[in-house]
């Protein structure tokens, strides 16, 4: 879908303006599948405190200007991974971006553009259909696989062994990485970086016995070899996970048949 037409201005006079607030322009890509054939930009001049998060500003618009504005959010603390969106063209979590970090230089009007993440079908406004993303996630079997008799005590692991996959345990499945990946945009059948990160988390877990199975899955035409090492995914990750490094480690495990 391509966006058309100039932004529509909206009446924002009912939005409360607390002391210390500044007026910023939120330029949001809107799409209602019931009435629109294409997405279009709408503009909202709203008061916001520098300490507000972008999510707060979106909530103000939803609460005081247009209740139909649609986006996902839950925790508001960068934990649940629900509110990934493009903020000024970069994939971010709306609850982790502060208004003060987006303010224009003195005297200039701050304009913040907000659009849905790319590579997944837009359902309405800022929320996308995450099913293709979760389908790839499920395909790599992101759970501990262990065979044989049930152990009578916990499965012991050394600190060094735990360290091997520590980084990839931090994933919150926000899709910022996968939806910033040019290979994923151009070829929806690629598993995408998030699925590989979650496979990595178990492939390198010394307690797991499913590594071979997962590596076979990722050796597929849609697997790790599609990655072009452009680092978009690492730059986009709000958890600071070394996504490309994890993908490289999976590639090495496949090349040398050793985890
Ligand atoms: S490093 Fe690989 S997975 Fe990450 S964005 Fe680039 S091509 Fe996609
Ligand atoms: S690896 Fe990072 S960017 Fe990708 S889904 Fe997990 S938390 Fe989000
Ligand atoms: S709302 Fe949970 S991560 Fe932003």
Report residue 6's pLDDT band, with 50, 70 and 90 as the boundaries.
low
Q: Please list, in sequence order, all residues whose beta carbon lies within 8 angstroms of the beta carbon of residue 39, skipping any fewer than 6 positions away.
A: 1, 2, 3, 4, 29, 30, 31, 122
pLDDT at 253 over 80: yes
* pLDDT tens-digit map of 155-181: 999 999 999 999 999 999 999 999 999
Report residue 8's pLDDT band, with 50, 70 and 90 as the boundaries.
low
Of 153 and 188, more confident = 153
Could you please state the CATH topology (level 3) that the domain comprising 4-127 is classified under.
Ubiquitin-like (UB roll) (3.10.20)
Q: What are residue 30's phi and psi, to 5 degrees?
A: -105, 145
Secondary-structure class of domain 130-256 per CATH: mainly alpha
Pocket test for ligand 1, best of 195, 218, 227, 241 (most atoms within 8 A of CB): 227
pLDDT at 152 over 60: yes
Model pTM above 0.85: yes
> Looking at the CA of 176, which ligand is closest?
2
Q: In the chain, where are the structural domains located?
A: 4-127, 130-256
Q: Ligand 2 centroid vs 175 CA: distance in angstroms? A: 6
**Residue 230 beta carbon below 6 angstroms from any ligand 1 atom:** yes
Report residue 71's pLDDT band, with 50, 70 and 90 as the boundaries.
very high
Q: Ligand 2 centroid vs 134 CA: distance in angstroms? A: 12
């Amino acid at each position: 879908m391509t966006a058309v037409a100039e932004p529509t201005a909206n009446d924002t006079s009912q939005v409360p303006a607390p002391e210390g607030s500044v007026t910023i322009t939120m330029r949001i890509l809107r799409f209602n599948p019931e009435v629109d054939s294409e997405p279009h930009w709408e503009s909202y001049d709203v008061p916001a405190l520098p300490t507000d998060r972008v999510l707060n500003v979106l909530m103000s618009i939803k609460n005081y200007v247009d209740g139909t504005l649609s986006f996902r959010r839950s925790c508001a603390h960068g934990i649940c991974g629900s509110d990934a969106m493009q903020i000024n063209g970069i994939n971010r979590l709306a609850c982790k971006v502060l208004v003060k970090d987006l303010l224009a230089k003195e005297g200039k009007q701050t304009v913040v553009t907000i659009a849905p993440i790319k590579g997944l079908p837009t359902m309405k406004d800022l929320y996308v259909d995450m099913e293709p993303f979760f389908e790839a996630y499920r395909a790599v079997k992101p759970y501990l696989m262990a065979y044989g008799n049930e152990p009578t005590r916990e499965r012991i692991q050394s600190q060094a062994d735990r360290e091997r996959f520590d980084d990839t345990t931090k994933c919150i499945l926000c899709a910022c990485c996968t939806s910033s990946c040019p290979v994923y945009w151009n070829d929806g059948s690629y598993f995408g970086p998030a699925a590989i990160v979650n496979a990595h988390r178990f492939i390198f877990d010394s307690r797991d016995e499913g590594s071979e199975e997962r590596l076979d899955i990722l050796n597929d035409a849609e697997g790790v070899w599609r990655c072009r090492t452009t680092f978009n995914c690492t730059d986009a990750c709000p958890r600071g996970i070394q996504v490309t490094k994890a993908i490289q480690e999976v590639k090495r495990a496949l090349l040398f048949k050793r985890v």
